[in-house]
Amino acid sequence: MSLITNVMDHSLDDGYAEAAARRQADGGGGMPKTLRAKLGLALGLVLAALVVTVGAAQARVAAPVVAKEREELIDRIDRETENADDLEESVDELRDDVSARQREALEKSGGSDQSELVGVLSGASEVHGPGVKLVVNDAKEAGTDGDGDPRGTSGFSDTGRVRDRDMQRVVNGLWASGAEAVSINGQRLTALSAIRAAGDAILVDNKPLVPPYTVLAVGEGKRLSTDFQNSADGLYLHALQENYGIRTGISVEDDLRLPAAPSVIVRTAQPITEKGTS
């Protein structure tokens, strides 16, 4: 009877309640782990979708602004490019005007023979006459070895490129050999001309030139050619050809035409107005 009384007094609900209490005390109560994981994954997907949606909405709103800014930047670049082109044209026109005024001043400065001679020697006048044509070019393999930057080293033997100092020696050698007027790639040289380098480019009076470099020199053709090739600078150029592959070619021409220098500006020398005074 006691067993039946005990079963009646303590139903199965009490046992389930005790088991649930133990699981809760052990940390195993509440939702099953699988259900909790699924709910967490679902929550994460919802958050990710929300972030993507918000980002897309913001990008859609910002796209017209970015496009407008890009168009404004392009328009500004176009305007500045046009302004630069206009300024360059103005500079060329002013140089032509200065050259014309210089030639006019030379013609009025004295006798015609003297003024023409001054114009030729100063580079302010166009000239023509016999002379030599000298073409200097980089070696065929220049820029194909190593890192592709033949000017990247301070040494000379591994370059294969014509440098500004090479052209300086060529021009000085032609002057010393009797040249009366010299130009490089159409740029007339004067007593104030400078041959320099800027990166890979050779500059003549701040204007970049590209190879091959064609040097025209007016003078006594055959004599000028012979004297230059026998000079120290001519031998230097021959050594560049033999040792480093730099290509050269010289020919005697019956008639060469050299343009006038863009501008001849004298900042220091002053003409003598009267005998004994300046």
Q: What is the pLDDT of residue 151?
A: 42
In DSSP notation, 137-196 reads E--TTTTSSTTS-TTSSS-STTT-S--HHHHHHHHHHHHHTT-SEEEETTEE--TT--EE
Query: Which has the closest alpha carbon to 209: 188, 240, 192?
Result: 188
Backbone φ and ψ for 142, nearest 5 degrees, come out as -60, 130
For residue 26, give the 3-state DSSP assignment: coil
Note the residue count of the chain: 278
For residue 231, give the 3-state DSSP assignment: coil
What does pTM read for this prediction? 0.56
Per DSSP, what are the bridge partners of residue 197?
202
d(CA 77, CA 261): 33
Q: Where are the domains of the chain?
A: 128-258
Token readout for 33 is: 């782990």
CATH of domain 128-258: 3.30.70.1880
**Residue 192: Cβ within 10 Å count:** 14
Q: What is the pLDDT of residue 133?
A: 96
Token readout for 116 is: 């023409």
For residue 263, give the 3-state DSSP assignment: coil
Token readout for 194 is: 């400078």
Q: What is the pLDDT of residue 13?
A: 56
Contact 131, 257 (CB under 8 A): no
d(CA 127, CA 105): 18
Q: What is the pLDDT of residue 154?
A: 44
* pLDDT tens-digit profile, the chain (278 residues): 565 666 555 555 566 566 666 666 665 555 566 777 777 788 888 888 888 887 777 777 666 777 778 888 888 899 899 899 888 888 878 877 877 776 666 666 555 555 566 666 666 678 899 999 999 999 987 754 444 444 444 444 456 889 999 999 999 999 999 999 999 999 899 888 889 988 778 999 888 888 999 999 999 999 999 999 999 999 999 999 998 899 999 999 999 999 888 766 667 777 776 665 44
Q: What is the pLDDT of residue 113?
A: 59
